[in-house]
Amino acid sequence: MPFLPSLLLNLGHALDHLFLLIFATAVSAIAQDFGVAGWEDMMPYTVGAFMMFGFASIPAGRMGDLWGRRQMMLVFFFGMGFSAIGVSLTQTPLQMGIALTVLGVFSAIYHPVGIPMLVQKAVRPGFTIGINGLAGNLGIALAALSTGFLVAWQGWRLAFIVPGLVSIACGFVFAWAAPQESNAPAKKKSNSVQLPKHVAWRTFAVMVATATTTSVLFNITTNGNAQLLAERLDGLVNDPSRLGMLLAAVYAVASLAQLVVGRLLDRFPMKPLFLGVLLLQIVAFGVASQTSGWVWYVAAIAYMVMVFGAIPFSDTMVVRYIDDAMRSRVSGTRIAISFGFSSIAVYLLGPVVKVAGFTQLMVALTCVAALGAVIVLFLPNEAQMNAHLKGGSGNHG
């Protein structure tokens, strides 16, 4: 993959996560503008975006394999840009919910299409996924920073318009720079060796289950951290711009985890690495649930490092054990299931915090992390899976 298209694919990942978190970062300002009593009452209106981010991944992945990934990435850049501008024009919570749902449809394209396109000829797929993950999580950090600045400067609507215009501009550059595909991935001849059916299904089941627990932790933290930060640092830091900078710093530091994990995945077995990350998640969430102030802030950095650090494992499983001809479809199915469940968690975020508070929420997240660690124990032995794949063309992802 040439440098400029690769850069745009990584930038697309950053934009994808940035768009999905503008609302969560600006929700207090949006609630005030719409005359809604509190931010908690606005959070359910974002559930459509996260449901579509999951469910629309199936048709997006299918189109990526059968129609072409280059074409689908153009749909992504232009669709995200124009739908974000559409969100900025809404006047009521219901209109906001509908517009965010449309945004979610286009946001679903990136993960099952952009990542397989990026890694399809990668020499070091783990490192490539790590760089891509770093870009996505820097988008999360940028959402916290840019949204806070734009809301304070000109209001929440500009926070959607500016990245929308950036996405449209990226679409034009990508159309110019990305090489044409000779054939759609599904139409290319494959001579890779497949895993035995029972091993493949077991691997897929673990992949989906761990992706679900990882997605729940990712969506709850990234959507709730802005309000949690304000609560846990209340009396220490109250200025919105300073809070935005502190939150951006959490994400910036945590983003480096994917780069480190990506390099490790190219050199060491996956199962013990994954289990180690999830065990550290349990500790970090447990400490965060019982602390406040600056001690909580350090714990928040730790749990976000582990949340982000867990993300590359599912994509690495797809790259290692799924042929390129169907990676977008498998990724789309995995994302649809995992984000379908986690979107319910996002829907419940506001109501749960309103009734039980953030402390109980953090205890629940500790339990989710523990469940993920148990599931990883069922991942088939990696040496056995690699043995099944020997004897092929060597291009197993």
Domain containing residue 312: 3-178+193-389
Q: What is the pTM of this model?
A: 0.76
Cα 192 to Cα 273, 321, 324, 385, 396, distances in angstroms: 26, 10, 9, 14, 6
Cα–Cα distance, 376 to 390 (Å, whole number): 24
Pick the range with the lowest mean pLDDT from 77-86, 175-184, 211-220, 304-313: 175-184
Whether 287 is covered by a domain: the verdict is yes
Nearest to 182 by CA among 72, 65, 323, 68: 68
Enumerate helices (H) and strands (E) in the chain, giving the number of each: 16, 0
Cα–Cα distance, 61 to 316 (Å, whole number): 17
* Residue 136's CATH number: 1.20.1250.20
- Mean pLDDT over 245-255 rounds to 86
Whether 150 is covered by a domain: the verdict is yes
Phi-psi region at 207: left, alpha or beta (left = phi > 0; alpha = psi -120 to 50): alpha
% of the chain residues with pLDDT over 70: 93
**Which tokens belong to 93?**
């919570």
- Mean pLDDT over 157-175 rounds to 94
Whether 335 is covered by a domain: the verdict is yes
Reported as a single tens digit per residue, the pLDDT across 277-311 is 999 999 999 999 999 899 999 999 999 999 999 98
Looking at the predicted structure, is the pLDDT value of residue 395 above 60? Answer: no
Whether 370 is covered by a domain: the verdict is yes
Whether 184 is covered by a domain: the verdict is no
> Taken in order 191, 193, 194, 196, is the CA torsion positive or negative?
positive
Cα–Cα distance, 180 to 68 (Å, whole number): 9
Whether 163 is covered by a domain: the verdict is yes
Q: Are 6 and 128 in contact (CB under 8 A)?
A: no
Check residues 393 and 43 and name the one with the higher pLDDT. 43
Q: What is the mean pLDDT of the chain?
A: 85
pLDDT band at 194 (very low <50, low <70, confident <90, very high): low
Cα–Cα distance, 137 to 312 (Å, whole number): 12
Provide the pLDDT for residue 144: 72
Pick the range with the lowest mean pLDDT from 19-23, 37-41, 231-235, 281-285: 37-41
Whether 141 is covered by a domain: the verdict is yes
Whether 395 is covered by a domain: the verdict is no
Cα–Cα distance, 276 to 274 (Å, whole number): 5
Provide the pLDDT for residue 184: 67
Specify which of 22-36, 96-110, 215-229 reaches the highest per-range mean pLDDT. Answer: 96-110
Domain count, the chain: 1
% of the chain residues with pLDDT over 90: 33
Cα–Cα distance, 361 to 357 (Å, whole number): 7
- Mean pLDDT over 117-145 rounds to 82
Cα–Cα distance, 208 to 337 (Å, whole number): 7
